[in-house]
């Protein structure tokens, strides 16, 4: 390698500090109120609030972070960051949000630095950074605590790319730091996997010939990437099944990509969920139109790749960094819900796309011969886009204030979002609005029957003492998922309400067989056995409950009372 070279086009330290301050102020102005938000009942609860693995830092929690999925993604570095947050804040949602905001601001500055290293044009770098910071598609990553994995993975992806570019300029130590940063990016989320190919893209973008030497430089990155792809595939085995899955995925890729590109250009009606309920077949007019549109767009970009090279490379970066997300169309407990995309999937891809768009716009503006007019037009354009983006992002961030606000917004944009109906049913139930909960669960079942919707509907029937309807709802849940232990438990509770204790006891035994750690099943079984005047069987049930949780007050008190009656 050559000796390290000075970097032309680098602004002064004072200019860079001022720009950093501007980015921080804008980020806080647009997203800062998120520090007053709580956790939302959409991943935050399972991933953080009820996840003992992040409630503190210690050997056991560290081991758990590095040896488990959440439930299908391997994100140990993300879990480690949650552990640190919990240790510092004792579970304060405001602190988690503040860290997310800080990471988003840092990422915007890293994007500026990457654009500067690639182009050596400070004005271009600043424009790209502001677009990345303020574009409405960035809201989800910036204000949703569960999107921490995207923030961390993107940040270390950018650091790795910067390290590689520094090494290319002659900094010999930077290559090792680039590999370390890539490893950390993968530990945050495997979506950083395309980095080796992105580095080749950067090489070509800067006019370097892609030869054997250029390819050889990427082998260590590929070696790091490979085991994480295996780990990621193992985490999705329940989802990746059969030729049907792969066919649906292939058919949805063009539709999803064009949809997300459309949101980049016109970021209106954004939502956390974009359900797709049309048939996924080879003869679907919607999907055929998307395939045709993708082919036409690709051919146009290829045809004008030399006239508009920056647009070509920016589009390639966008598509390349989207690839890991193409395995995420199928969601839900049984992976039967289909979603086209989510806003945060564009978070990293937008970094390269915005660079390509800004450079292309700059090249087009160069046709204006008057330098002052050219400068005024460029500044006016970036100011207008930045102001509009900031306003839209400020509005969009407001929907993340709490769970009810979030899913009300989801249903306003996508009334057929089945999971949103279930969540809103839970919110109505928590408020004591059983009629509202019943309505939401029935609507959810009408969109697509799921075990959870039937189980929750059954709970409503238990509260209204409609025990036969509760039993029927939970049996339908079991028909959809024979291992739904909570449905079996609720059947037992309904039989208890009807005074049919033998059938209740049988249901609780079946629950315990499905989930041997279900302490409530053993406690309820003990109560049913007491009602049947089977004290020995009741003692055995309470004893098993105490084996699971020796501190169980109910099991302990009932067992003591039975022992005293001997």
For the record, the structure tokens of 235 come out as 């985490």
pTM of the predicted model over 0.75: yes
pLDDT band at residue 3, thresholds of 50, 70 and 90?
Answer: very low
337 vs 39, higher pLDDT: 39
pLDDT single digits (tens) 339-368: 899 999 999 999 999 999 999 999 998 888
Residue 34 has what pLDDT?
96
Residue 244 has what pLDDT?
61
pLDDT single digits (tens) 415-459: 888 889 999 999 999 999 999 999 999 999 999 899 999 999 999
* Rounded Cα gap, residues 411 and 273, in angstroms: 9
* Rounded Cα gap, residues 53 and 59, in angstroms: 11
Buried-exposed string 193-229: b where 16+ CB fall within 10 A, e elsewhere: bbbbbbbbbbbbbeeeeeeeeeeebbeebeebbeebe
pLDDT single digits (tens) 202-234: 999 999 999 999 999 999 999 999 999 999 888
* Rounded Cα gap, residues 488 and 518, in angstroms: 11
Secondary element (H or E) of residue 241: none
pLDDT band at residue 477, thresholds of 50, 70 and 90?
Answer: very high
566 vs 534, higher pLDDT: 534
246 vs 138, higher pLDDT: 138
Residue 42 has what pLDDT?
83
Mean pLDDT of the chain: 92
Contact 480, 450 (CB under 8 A): yes
Mean pLDDT of all residues in 141-151: 97
Q: Is the pLDDT of residue 5 over 80?
A: no
Q: Is the pLDDT of residue 69 over 60?
A: yes
Q: Is the pLDDT of residue 131 over 60?
A: yes
* Rounded Cα gap, residues 457 and 275, in angstroms: 22
Residue 2 has what pLDDT?
42
pLDDT band at residue 65, thresholds of 50, 70 and 90?
Answer: confident
- Give me the helix-helix angle, 219-235 and 195-205, nearest 10°: 140
Residue 337 has what pLDDT?
79
SS3 204: helix
Residue 11 has what pLDDT?
84
Contact 370, 358 (CB under 8 A): no
Contact 85, 61 (CB under 8 A): no
DSSP class of residue 269 equals S
**By percentage, how much of the chain surpasses pLDDT 90?**
73
Residue 240 has what pLDDT?
52
């Amino acid at each position: 390698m050559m000796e390290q070279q000075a970097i032309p086009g680098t602004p002064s330290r004072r200019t860079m500090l001022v720009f950093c301050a501007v980015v921080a102020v804008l980020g806080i102005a647009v997203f800062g109120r998120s520090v007053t938000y709580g956790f939302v009942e959409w991943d935050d609860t399972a991933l953080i609030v009820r996840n003992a693995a992040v409630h503190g830092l210690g050997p056991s929690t560290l081991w758990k972070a590095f040896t488990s999925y959440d439930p299908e993604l391997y994100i140990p570095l993300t879990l480690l960051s949650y552990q640190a947050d919990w240790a510092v804040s004792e579970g304060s949602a405001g602190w988690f949000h503040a860290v997310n905001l800080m990471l988003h601001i840092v990422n915007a500055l890293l994007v500026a630095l990457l654009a500067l290293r690639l182009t050596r044009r400070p004005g271009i770098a600043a424009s790209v950074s502001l677009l990345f910071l303020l574009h409405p598609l960035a809201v989800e990553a910036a204000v949703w605590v569960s999107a921490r994995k995207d923030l961390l993975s993107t940040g270390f992806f950018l650091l790795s790319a910067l390290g590689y570019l520094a090494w290319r300029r002659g900094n010999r130590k930077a290559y090792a730091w680039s590999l370390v940063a890539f490893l950390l990016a993968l530990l945050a989320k495997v979506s950083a996997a395309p980095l080796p190919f992105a580095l080749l893209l950067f090489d070509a973008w800067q006019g370097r010939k892609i030869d054997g030497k250029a390819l050889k430089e990427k082998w260590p990155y590929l070696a790091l990437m490979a085991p994480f792809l295996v780990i990621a595939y193992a985490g999705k085995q329940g989802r990746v099944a059969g030729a049907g899955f792969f066919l649906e995925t292939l058919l949805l890729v063009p539709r999803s990509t064009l949809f997300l590109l459309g949101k980049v250009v016109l970021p209106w009606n954004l939502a956390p969920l974009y359900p797709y309920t049309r048939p996924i077949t080879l003869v679907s007019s919607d999907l055929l139109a998307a395939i045709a549109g993708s082919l036409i767009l690709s051919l146009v970009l290829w045809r004008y790749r030399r006239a508009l090279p920056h647009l070509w490379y920016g589009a390639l970066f966008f598509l390349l960094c989207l690839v890991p997300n193409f395995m995420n169309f199928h969601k839900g407990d049984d992976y039967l819900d289909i979603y086209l995309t989510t806003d945060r999937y564009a978070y990293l891809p937008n970094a390269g796309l915005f660079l390509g768009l800004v450079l292309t716009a700059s090249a087009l503006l160069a046709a204006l011969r008057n330098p002052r007019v050219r400068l005024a037009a460029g500044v006016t354009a970036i100011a207008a886009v930045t102001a509009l983006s900031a306003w839209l992002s400020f509005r969009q961030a407001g929907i993340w204030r709490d769970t009810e606000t979030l899913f009300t917004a989801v249903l306003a944009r996508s009334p057929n979002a089945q999971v949103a109906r279930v969540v809103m049913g839970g919110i109505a139930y928590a408020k004591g609005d059983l009629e509202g909960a019943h309505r939401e669960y029935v609507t959810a079942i009408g969109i697509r029957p799921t075990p959870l919707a039937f189980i929750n509907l059954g709970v409503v029937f238990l509260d209204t003492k409609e025990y036969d309807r509760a039993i029927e709802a939970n049996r339908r849940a079991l028909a959809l998922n024979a291992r739904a232990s909570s449905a079996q438990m609720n059947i037992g509770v309904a039989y208890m309400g009807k005074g049919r204790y033998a059938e209740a006891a049988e249901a609780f035994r079946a629950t315990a067989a499905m989930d041997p750690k279900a302490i409530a099943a053993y406690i309820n079984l003990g109560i049913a056995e007491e009602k049947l005047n089977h004290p020995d069987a009741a003692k055995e049930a309470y004893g098993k409950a105490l084996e699971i949780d020796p501190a169980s007050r109910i099991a302990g008190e009932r067992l003591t009372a039975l022992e005293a009656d001997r």
